[in-house]
Amino acid sequence: MPQPLTLYLAAPRGFCAGVDRAIKIVEMALEKWGAPVFVRHEIVHNKYVVDGLRAKGAVFVEELDDCPDDRPVIFSAHGVPKAVPAEAARRQMIYVDATCPLVSKVHIEAARHHDNGLQMVMIGHAGHPETLGTMGQLPEGEVLLVETVEDVATLTPRDPARLAFITQTTLSVDDTAGIVEALKARFPAIVGPHKEDICYATTNRQEAVKAMAPKIDALLVIGAPNSSNSKRLVEVGARGGAPYAMLVQRAADIDWRAIEGVSAVGITAGASAPETLVDEVIGAFADRYDITVEMVETAVENVEFKVPRVLREPVA
């Protein structure tokens, strides 16, 4: 007889509106222009999604220099420095920007503060494409990056009285609150958004994990190792009290020995992880245990973003 096991399924989990739109953009571009369509950086941070689009004719590259002039190129959901579309335009390329509108909103905020003569502080992860894209909206030196509360103490702004802050959209809500507090304590005149720029999807997925953490022996987050929002879900689960919290790309990654003896497991998925991988993980548990599935729902999402007009129009 298989052991009984309760699977707590987080809701919301998985695809957000920005990821949904970005994937649709690649699919519609392939339909409109045929293969190959080039994509600068992984359209979203998920190998399964990227492999699926590659099979349909998308070619993933890291730099615009790796694309020919005469094929369309799509910019990933994470956003790009201003120099990238400028260079694509100079080369007279067809390009479609799949930057999530919630990332573009931060780009616009940064530009507005810059126009008002403020230097920016960005809270984000060094080297992440969204951070590079957002910092790349302004000239070199206009955006100072902080990753931790400790970084705030070593900032050397041009004028401490003329500062604004922005954030990456996929950060830990709790860690970011601490950094914002440190910024406000050191620079009382700093201006910024009401709280931070973390998006609805990141916030909601973290909330659902917080709600399930006290009930579970183990948390599995379905997502990729380069997915910032997915990695934050593992941290939130561990801090919320889950004795074991692990990122898995799919069922084959589950370390069954490590979770031997558990009777309650939480499952969630990062914003770039497709539901089919969640189904696969649930199936793997059903093969080994007598499972009962319970939903832990903390929010209902109904956000949707339109694809750019160029993809809604027929080929000229």
Name which of ligand 0CM, ligand SF4, none residue 228 binds, using a CB cut-off of 5 to 8 Å depending on partner kind. Answer: ligand 0CM
What is the longest distance spanned by two Cα atoms in the chain?
69
17: partner contacted, choices ligand 0CM, ligand SF4, none (Cβ within 5-8 A by kind):
ligand SF4
The contact set with ligand SF4 (CB under 6 A) reads 16-19, 77, 100, 102-103, 169-170, 199, 201-202, 229, 271
Least distance (Å) between residue 79 CB and ligand SF4: 9
Give, as one character, the DSSP assignment of residue 7.
Answer: E
- Angle between helices 200-212 and 228-239 in degrees, nearest 10: 30
Contact 67, 38 (CB under 8 A): yes
Cα–Cα distance between 275 and 54 in angstroms, integer? 19
Number of amino acids touching ligand 0CM (CB under 6 A):
18
Question: Does the protein bind ligand 0CM through residue 78 (CB under 6 A)?
Answer: yes
CB of 214 to ligand 0CM, least distance (A): 25
Between residues 199 and 281, which has the closer beta carbon with respect to ligand SF4? Answer: 199
Position 126: which residue type?
A: A
Instruction: Mark residues 235-274: x for contact with ligand 0CM by CB under 6 A, - for none.
Output: -----------------------------------xxx--
What would the x/- binding string for ligand 0CM be over residues 172 to 211, using CB under 6 A?
----------------------------------------
227 forms part of the interface with ligand 0CM (CB under 6 A) = yes
Nearest-Å Rg of the Cα atoms of the chain is: 21
C-alpha distances out from residue 11 to 165, 207, 208, 221, 273, Å: 31, 9, 6, 13, 14
Q: Which residue, 148, 164, 40, is CA-closest to 108?
A: 164
247 contact choice in ligand 0CM, ligand SF4, none (CB below 5 to 8 Å, kind-dependent): none
- DSSP assignments along 195-231, one per residue: S----HHHHHHHHHHHHHGGG-SEEEEE--TT-HHHH
State the catalytic residues: 130
Chain residues binding ligand 0CM by CB under 6 A are 18-19, 44-45, 77-78, 100, 103, 130, 169-170, 227-230, 270-272
